[in-house]
Amino acid sequence: MITPGDFVAVAVSGGKDSLALLHILAKLRTKFRGAKLEAFTINEGHPYSCFYRMAKSNYVGEVAAKFGIEYNVYHFRDIFGFTAMEISERLAARGHKVHMCTIDGVLRRRAMNLIGKKRGWTKIATAHNLDDEAQTVMLNVLMGNLSRFRWYGVYEDAEEKDLIPRIKPLKHIREEEIAVYAYYHGIPLMELECPYVSTNPRYRLKFILAELEREMPTVKYSLVSFGRRLAEQLKSTQAGGANRCRYCGNISAKPVCRVCDLLQKAGVLNL
């Protein structure tokens, strides 16, 4: 996933997975011949953001200092002019029900591309694990989001020049194995769960998948493999590139990208 000449940015949310990923990549750093590593966190700007809970311990700062890695924090307000909370309130005031995790996720992905282009990152490492990936595939199937699979493929290979390729070094590692690694290495675990988590559709899928796994032990691996193969098939049948957003010009499955769609619904696109 990492080759000589790469400039890899590790996305640190503060959860145990991202802290474990930073720890692992920092330790392996000497083996990346000629590759650069730095870490970053995005502060979405709402009171329950992992950012604030993480700030209580200086673990990332310690790891960054110990391994000589640059670490920066970026804020939604600086990037978009608004915090996630402000956008959420404006959406609600206009009668749009959008989950906070959706606002965070959609804007965070865009933010990473914008920052990465300025910094010169060639890859962004995220801490998605096997469980996250299996949930994503299942969620897309349940929601009938075929086009998302194509997106999945675009991100993985990033043939599109203006997207910074994502790498997911933990994507075949089970969540509990990462927890064991974190515990063993003294990586702090956040005590409080985000209050938005329980209403996120992924939350239920987590239990459904655990239930299915008792009868079908390979179900998570099968889902991830299915998603990857579907993405490959979609890519080969849809050569010619993705569409562009009418407003911002970014690659988008629909005429208006999800970022502009959210900002438009919140009434701040012109701002």
- What is the closest distance, in whole angstroms, from the C-beta atom of residue 164 to Zn ion in the complex? 17
Rounded to an integer, what distance in angstroms lies between the CA atom of residue 247 and that of residue 82? 18
DSSP string, 109-176: HHHHHHHHHHHT-SEEE----HHHHHHHHHHHHHHT-HHHHHHHHHHHH--STTSPPEE-TTTTS-HH
- What is the closest distance, in whole angstroms, from the C-beta atom of residue 247 to Zn ion in the complex? 5
User: 37 vs 260, which CB is nearer to Zn ion?
Assistant: 260
User: 231 vs 245, which CB is nearer to Zn ion?
Assistant: 245
Rounded to an integer, what distance in angstroms lies between the CA atom of residue 65 and that of residue 191? 24
Q: Which residues contact 123 (CB under 8 A, 6 or more apart)?
A: 1, 2, 6, 7, 8, 9, 164, 165, 166, 167
Q: Specify the stretch interacting with Zn ion by CB under 5 A; choose among 71-79, 160-168, 233-241, 253-261.
A: 253-261
In this structure, the chain runs to a length of 271
Q: Which of 187, 248, 171, 151 is nearest to 63 (CA)?
A: 187
CB 134 within 8 A of CB 216: no
Under the criterion CB under 5 A, does residue 219 sit at the interface with Zn ion?
A: no
What DSSP character marks residue 4?
T
Q: Other C-beta atoms within 10 Å of 205: how many?
A: 18
User: 106 vs 230, which CB is nearer to Zn ion?
Assistant: 106
Q: Which of 22, 64, 234, 245 binds Zn ion (CB under 5 A)?
A: 245
Under the criterion CB under 5 A, does residue 269 sit at the interface with Zn ion?
A: no
Under the criterion CB under 5 A, does residue 35 sit at the interface with Zn ion?
A: no
Under the criterion CB under 5 A, does residue 257 sit at the interface with Zn ion?
A: yes
Q: Which of 158, 194, 219, 248 binds Zn ion (CB under 5 A)?
A: 248
Under the criterion CB under 5 A, does residue 247 sit at the interface with Zn ion?
A: yes
Q: Specify the stretch interacting with Zn ion by CB under 5 A; choose among 73-81, 88-96, 130-138, 260-268.
A: 260-268
Rounded to an integer, what distance in angstroms lies between the CA atom of residue 255 and that of residue 245? 5
Under the criterion CB under 5 A, does residue 114 sit at the interface with Zn ion?
A: no
User: 236 vs 270, which CB is nearer to Zn ion?
Assistant: 270
User: 41 vs 250, which CB is nearer to Zn ion?
Assistant: 250
Q: Report angle CA 107, 220, 150 to the nearest 5 degrees.
A: 45
Q: Which 57-86 residues touch Zn ion, going by CB under 5 A?
A: none
Under the criterion CB under 5 A, does residue 32 sit at the interface with Zn ion?
A: no
Under the criterion CB under 5 A, does residue 107 sit at the interface with Zn ion?
A: no
Under the criterion CB under 5 A, does residue 19 sit at the interface with Zn ion?
A: no
What residue has token string 């203006």? 162
- What is the closest distance, in whole angstroms, from the C-beta atom of residue 257 to Zn ion in the complex? 3
Tokens encoding 75: 């804020």
User: 130 vs 260, which CB is nearer to Zn ion?
Assistant: 260
Under the criterion CB under 5 A, does residue 106 sit at the interface with Zn ion?
A: no
Instruction: State the residues that interact with Zn ion by CB under 5 A.
Output: 245, 247-248, 257, 260
